Structure 1
Amino acid sequence: MFGTDFSYEDFAHFQGMATDSNMTRLPDQDMQGHPSFVVETIPVSDGSKYSRILSLALPV
């Protein structure tokens, strides 16, 4: 995308994350002293540039 390190595939992934991927919640991790959720996303499309995506999120 213009002026960022994101690609069109990255944005499309965020829009359709729940429908075009297999998502698995992995064990929580400690990130710099904070408990964090870890989610593994494996795209079902053979045309994806990514074999898997790991996402980290701090609980609110």
Structure 2
Amino acid sequence: MLPYPLLTLSLILMWLLLNGLTPGHLVLGILVAVFASWAMASLRPDKPKLAKWYLLPKLFGIV
């Protein structure tokens, strides 16, 4: 559910430090932090796929 739990927790804490500890700010901070975490996950690049692994020794030889 949360791809970056440390980021989410730190955003909630920063929100509460800047705005004060009230129930409304806590709920709003949680919403902002969760949506920011999801946005960061969508910006993560795809993992590279090694399609032609048999060319790897040739690459090592060139390097």
Query: TM-score, normalization: structure 2?
Result: 0.25
- TM-score norm. by structure 1 comes to 0.25
More strand by share: 1
* Larger relative helix fraction: 2
Q: Which has the larger radius of gyration?
A: 2
